[in-house]
Amino acid sequence: MSAPAPTATPAAAPALAISGLQKSFAGVRAIRDLSFSVPKGRATALIGPNGAGKTTVFNLVSGVYGVDSGSIHVNGVDVTHLPSRRRIRTGVARSFQNIRLMSHLSVLENLLVGQHVRASSLAALLTPYRLIPNHRWKREARAALAESGLEQYAEETVGALPYGVRKRIDLVRATLAGASVLMLDEPAAGLNPSETNALRDHLKALIARGLTLLVVEHDMHFVDSICENVVVLNFGEKIAEGPLSVVWRDPKVREAYIGTDEEA
C-alpha cells in the first residue's frame, strides 16, 4: 500500500495536536477545554465511559462539526477551519463507530471510494476502470483486503455481510486514503476473539509501517497491547493522560469508570 511513509523524528510536529477545544450541542457541553497531542508513528488510545465525548473528538477533527473554539493541527497544518472535505488530504482518515459503509455498493467499490484522494483528477474520475481487467485501483484494494484476510468478500454487497466483517472493512477503507494518521472508533467492538486477534495484528502492521493511530476502545487488554499512551476523557474533559498502567491507577479514572461498564 502506498501510504507516504512519515519520518518519525521525535522533534517533528505531532501528528495530531488539539488545543483548547470546546464544543456544545444545544447548550450541553460535550467537549470542555480539551488539549492533547498524538505523537507520530505510534498508537495512542482515547478512552472514557460512554458519552464522554470520544466520538465527538473524531467528528471535530474530521470536520463533521465545526468547533466552538480551540484549534486542531494535523501534521503541523491548522485544519480548524478547513472544510471537512479537504481534511483527509492533510493526512488524517477515520473509521466509524456505527459502521458507515455504503450498503448498496460492493466491498471493492467501498474501498475505491476510500481511495478517492489518491485518484481525484478529472482523468481519474472519467477512466472507465471497470472495463480494464485488473486495474491498478482494484488491485490495490484487493491487496489491502487480503492483508486483513478478507479477500473472499471483495465482490459481495456490503449490506449482506456479518457485523465483524463490515467493521473491519470500514477500517480497511480508512487505510486506503493513504493518510498518515488513522482515527479508529471502537475498531474491536463486536468482533469475536479471533477477529480481535486479526485486528491486533493488522494494527501492529500499520504502526510498523510508520502510521500514527488514535484509537477509541473499551477493551483495555486490546488497548494495552497496542497503545503506548492513553488519554482519558470524562464528561468532555481530559482527566488523565499517560501509560495505561499508570493512568488506570489514577483515582479520578477509577471513579469515572465506577458504575459504568468497567470492561478492563
Partner 1 sequence: MSGYLTGVLVVLAFNVMAAYAVYLPLAAGQLNLGIAGFMAIGAYAAAYLTNELGWSMWAAVPMGSAAAGLVGILIGIPVLRTHGIYLALATFALGQVIAAVFLNLDVVGAAAGYPVTDYAAPGVVFACAIGVVLLMALISRTRFALYLTAVKSDATVADLMGISVRGIQVAAFALGAALAGFGGAMYAHHYSFIEAQHFNVLLSVFTVLYVLFGGVQTVWGPLVGAAFFTLVPELLRASDQWRYALFALFIIIFMALRPQGLVTASLFRLFRRRSKGASA
Partner 2 sequence: MLSQQIINGLMLGAIYMLVAVAFTLAIGVLNFLNFSLPGLFMLGGMLAFGFLKLGWPFFLAAGGALFVAALVSLLVERLAYRRMREGDAEVPLVSSLGFLVLLENLVLIRYGSDQQAFPALFADMNVRVGGLVIGIAQMVSLAISLGLVAWLSWFLRATNAGRRIRTVAENRETALLMGINIERLVPQLFVGSALLAALAGLLFAVNYQQVSPFMGEGIGFKAVAAMIIGGMGSIWGAVIGGLLIGLAEVLSISLIGADVVNITVYGLLLVILIVRPQGLIGRPPAREKL
Ligand X SMILES: Nc1ncnc2c1ncn2[C@@H]1O[C@H](COP(=O)(O)OP(=O)(O)O)[C@@H](O)[C@H]1O
> Which residues between 135 and 174 bind ligand X (CB under 6 A)?
none
Angle between helices 107-114 and 163-175 in degrees, nearest 10: 30
Binding region for partner 1 (CB under 8 A) out of 35-43, 45-53, 128-136, 248-256: 128-136
Q: Cα dist. 194→96, 124, 188 in Å? A: 21, 38, 11
Distance CA 26, CA 28 (A): 6
Q: Which residues contact 108 (CB under 8 A, 6 or more apart)?
A: 138, 141, 142, 145, 154, 155
CB 133 within 8 A of CB 74: no
Three-state secondary structure call for residue 234: strand
Nearest CA to 118 among 73, 206, 186, 177? 177
Distance CA 99, CA 120 (A): 24
User: Residue 52's binding partner, choosing from partner 1, partner 2, ligand X, none, with beta-carbon cut-off 5 to 8 A by kind?
Assistant: ligand X
Binding region for partner 1 (CB under 8 A) out of 20-28, 94-102, 141-149, 198-206: 94-102
User: Residue 139's binding partner, choosing from Mg ion, partner 1, partner 2, none, with beta-carbon cut-off 5 to 8 A by kind?
Assistant: none
Question: What DSSP character marks residue 218?
Answer: S
CB 52 within 8 A of CB 30: no
> Which residues between 46 and 65 bind ligand X (CB under 6 A)?
48, 50-56
Report the residue number, 64 or 246, with the smaller CB distance to partner 2: 64
For residue 116, the tally of other CB atoms under 10 A from its CB is 13
Alpha carbon dihedral 106, 108, 113, 119, in 10-degree steps, equals: -150
Using CB under 5 A as the criterion, which residues of the chain lie in contact with Mg ion when the complex forms?
Answer: 55, 97
**Assigned C-alpha cell, 76:** 503541523
Site string for ligand X, 5-44 (x = CB under 6 A): --------------------x----x--------------
Answer for which of 29, 89, 100, 221 binds partner 2 (CB under 8 A) is: 100
Report the residue number, 40 or 54, with the smaller CB distance to ligand X: 54
Site string for partner 1, 150-189 (x = CB under 8 A): -----x-x-------------------x------------
Binding region for partner 2 (CB under 8 A) out of 10-18, 42-50, 95-103, 254-262: 95-103
- Nearest-approach distance from CB 36 to partner 1, in angstroms: 22
CB 64 within 8 A of CB 235: no
**Contacts to partner 2 by CB under 8 A:** 55, 59, 64, 96, 98, 100
**Contacts to partner 1 by CB under 8 A:** 62-64, 84-89, 94, 96, 100, 102-105, 109, 112-114, 116-117, 119-120, 124-131, 155, 157, 177
